[in-house]
């Protein structure tokens, strides 16, 4: 296609939001001219479903729940006054508490103020705060953020070590809706032990963000945590960034939480348009649907050309894949839906996988994210007439052109800057696009049966480990092979799992399991250390 034709196509398909300064270009996604007309019925269905969702209909039938993350930035839309009041009270409480911490009016015993923030969570309860902190925080903030987002013992040690011996000045936020999420519970217990080792009480350094009446809520009340903030069952973890989950850490870090909400609310307004061409979230959803044949046949490669947006790919990975990766549609019929998401930052990827993107398997589309503002203040000219930012922009436009020449589809989001308002708008844009796409392919975007299945399987593995321990005790000095111990544990079909469990136990001296090697790994004999 000639450059002039591309320009005309760009003009025809560009969505521009002057108020936000955000633009969406889908002109290089290969969309046919009659797409909007051809998709009129599924578009109308998706818009109707979204209107019903915002009005309070049960939008998560698998769990019989309403879905209300849009109410977080527009409480007046909530279907009941008590919900609207709870949202407003929580926002005010987040801002008030954060201000008191930053001002030193809420302080730790033994220090004049909190200077470090440790967020303990998993999934959306960690990714949302991490993304916001990385995008909008900075070294000049009132607190330094740290994150504990896994149950990896070495990772826990590294996270706690990163605090640099400053537990006395560290405020911990424990985030878990149920209060029973194993990764978060384990992180809290490990952190509690770390505080106790230096003579401190975690409760005097901690707040909880959790469901009212949850196990964590009860624990926080019993131990006297500094504060508790609610998580509601109508807000899923992956859409919780504009709840206390994301707003509390942001506000503590000195980030304008109200700006995040304002940007999200403004984007929400734009994405309620019933005209698909004037609805950026619908344009995104239609682009995904068209390029992937409505089956997710192409992966989404996220390339933000801005270091502050380096975590956008990880954030979208959970939002998109957990929402759309479903094995059954709303009628219970078997489907295989989803869009795989991966990515890193540009121009780093000029030297990584762009080679394959241009010349390898054409099973993807690229989401470029362009940020117009280079930095605060003046930029050095690294050569006459060109700054580092000019090079960054050149790499983006050059890669975009090179991919188009190779027949690789791409879309481009242009932001004026990375600010609370634009990041809030970005979050809202993708939340709505995911909801629209889910309606088009008729899946429930708001449940996660696969995640729950994984949790149940993990619980079964831990139960087997307990039975393996009992078998080791029963067999005494003789011990046994993995196969023998699985048999003794009443799980002869779980010999492979028993093997993995025993190998890990034997690799950790503190677990008290010795391993005598045999002729092959499967002949090894395990026994409890006497």
Q: Match domain 82-255 to its CATH number in 3.40.50.10490, 3.30.565.60, 3.40.462.10, 3.40.50.2300.
A: 3.40.50.10490
Give the separation between CA 9 and CA 13, rounded to whole angstroms.
Answer: 6
**What was the pLDDT predicted at 349?**
81
The mean pLDDT of 386-413, rounded to a whole number, is 96
Give the separation between CA 231 and CA 236, rounded to whole angstroms.
Answer: 9
**What was the pLDDT predicted at 252?**
98
| Range name among 184-198, 258-272, 340-354 with the lowest pLDDT average | 340-354
**Residue 499 scores a pLDDT above 80:** yes
State the span(s) of the chain assigned CATH 1.10.10: 450-528
**What was the pLDDT predicted at 257?**
98
pLDDT digits (tens, 9 = 90+) for 429-458: 999 999 999 999 999 999 988 877 787 888
178 confidence band (pLDDT: 50, 70, 90): confident
DSSP-derived 3-state class of residue 115: coil
The mean pLDDT of 279-297, rounded to a whole number, is 97
Q: What number of other Cβ atoms are within 10 A of residue 247's Cβ?
A: 28
Question: Helical H runs in 476-512?
Answer: 482-488, 495-507
Pairing of strands 170-176, 206-211: parallel
CB 207, CB 225: distance < 8 Å: yes
Among 123, 129, 121, smallest CA distance to 176 is for: 121
The mean pLDDT of 99-121, rounded to a whole number, is 97
Instruction: Output the six-digit token pair for 432.
Output: 């709505």
CA 244 to chain centroid: 15
pLDDT digits (tens, 9 = 90+) for 366-388: 999 999 999 999 999 999 999 99
**What was the pLDDT predicted at 352?**
86
| Mean pLDDT, the chain, integer | 96
State the span(s) of the chain assigned CATH 3.40.50.10490: 3-39+273-420, 82-255
Give Cβ neighbours of residue 282 (< 8 Å, ≥ 6 apart): 43, 46, 47, 271, 273, 276, 433, 436
pLDDT digits (tens, 9 = 90+) for 351-363: 888 899 999 999 9
Residue showing tokens 């991919």 = 403
The mean pLDDT of 152-175, rounded to a whole number, is 96
The mean pLDDT of 304-328, rounded to a whole number, is 97
User: In percent, how much of the chain has pLDDT > 90?
Assistant: 93
The CATH number that domain 3-39+273-420 falls under is: 3.40.50.10490
Q: Match domain 450-528 to its CATH number in 1.10.238, 1.20.1070, 1.20.120, 1.10.10.
A: 1.10.10
CA 319 to chain centroid: 6
Give the separation between CA 198 and CA 167, rounded to whole angstroms.
Answer: 8
The mean pLDDT of 456-464, rounded to a whole number, is 89
Classify 299 in phi/psi space as left (phi over 0), alpha (psi -120 to 50) or beta: beta
Catalytic residues: 322, 351, 455
In the DSSP assignment, the letter for residue 176 is: E
pLDDT digits (tens, 9 = 90+) for 36-67: 999 999 999 999 999 999 999 999 998 899 99
Residue showing tokens 């007046």 = 76
How far is CA 365 from each of CA 28, 50, 339, 393, 459, rounded to the nearest angstrom? 10, 26, 11, 20, 37
Pairing of strands 513-516, 525-528: antiparallel
**What was the pLDDT predicted at 1?**
64
DSSP-derived 3-state class of residue 113: coil
The mean pLDDT of 78-85, rounded to a whole number, is 97
């Amino acid at each position: 296609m000639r450059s002039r034709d591309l320009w005309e196509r760009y003009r025809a398909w560009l969505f521009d939001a002057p108020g936000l300064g955000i633009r969406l270009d889908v002109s290089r996604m290969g969309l046919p001219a009659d797409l909007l007309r051809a998709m009129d019925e599924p578009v109308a269905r998706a818009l109707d479903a979204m209107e019903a969702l915002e009005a309070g209909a049960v939008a998560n039938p698998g769990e019989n729940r309403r879905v209300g993350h849009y109410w977080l930035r527009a409480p007046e839309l909530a279907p009941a006054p008590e919900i609207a009041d709870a949202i407003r009270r929580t926002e005010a409480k987040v801002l008030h508490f954060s201000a008191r911490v930053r001002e030193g009016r809420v302080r730790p015993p033994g220090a004049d103020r909190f200077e470090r923030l440790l967020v303990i969570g998993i999934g959306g309860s960690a990714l949302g705060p991490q993304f916001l902190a990385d995008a909008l925080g900075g070294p000049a903030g009132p607190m330094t953020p740290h994150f504990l987002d896994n149950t990896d013992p070495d990772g826990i040690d590294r996270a706690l070590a990163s605090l640099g011996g400053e537990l006395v000045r560290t405020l911990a936020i424990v985030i878990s809706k149920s209060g029973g999420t194993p990764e978060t519970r384990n992180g809290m217990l490990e952190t509690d032990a770390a505080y106790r080792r230096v003579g401190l009480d975690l409760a005097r350094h901690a707040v909880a963000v959790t469901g009212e009446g949850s196990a964590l809520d009860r624990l926080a009340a019993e131990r006297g945590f500094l504060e508790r903030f609610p998580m509601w069952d109508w807000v899923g973890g992956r859409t919780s960034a504009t709840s206390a989950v994301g707003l509390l850490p942001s506000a503590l870090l000195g980030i304008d939480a109200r700006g995040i909400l304002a940007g999200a609310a403004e984007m929400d307004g734009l994405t309620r348009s019933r005209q698909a061409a004037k609805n950026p979230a619908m344009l995104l959803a239609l682009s995904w649907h068209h390029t992937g044949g409505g089956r997710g046949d192409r992966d989404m490669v996220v390339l933000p050309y801005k270091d502050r947006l380096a975590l956008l790919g990880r954030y979208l990975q959970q939002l998109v894949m957990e929402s759309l990766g479903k094995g059954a549609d709303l009628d219970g019929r078997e489907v295989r839906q989803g869009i795989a998401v991966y990515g890193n930052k540009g121009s780093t990827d000029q030297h990584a996988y762009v080679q394959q993107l241009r010349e390898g398997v054409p099973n993807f589309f690229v989401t470029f994210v362009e940020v117009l503002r280079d930095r605060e203040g003046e930029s050095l000219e690294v050569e006459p007439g060109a700054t580092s930012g000019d090079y960054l922009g050149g790499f983006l436009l050059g890669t975009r052109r090179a991919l188009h020449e190779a027949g690789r589809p791409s879309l481009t989001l242009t932001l004026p800057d990375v600010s609370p308002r634009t990041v809030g708008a970005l979050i809202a844009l993708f939340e709505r696009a995911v909801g629209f796409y889910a309606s088009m392919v008729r899946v429930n975007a708001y449940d996660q049966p696969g995640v729950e299945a994984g949790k149940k399987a993990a619980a079964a593995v831990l139960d087997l480990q307990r039975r393996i321990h009992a078998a080791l005790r029963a067999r005494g000095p003789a011990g046994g092979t993995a196969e023998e111990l699985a048999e003794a544990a009443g799980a002869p079909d779980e010999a492979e799992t028993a093997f993995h469990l025993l190998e890990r136990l034997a690799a950790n001296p503190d677990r008290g399991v010795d391993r005598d090697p045999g002729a092959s790994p499967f002949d090894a004999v395990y026994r409890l250390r006497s």
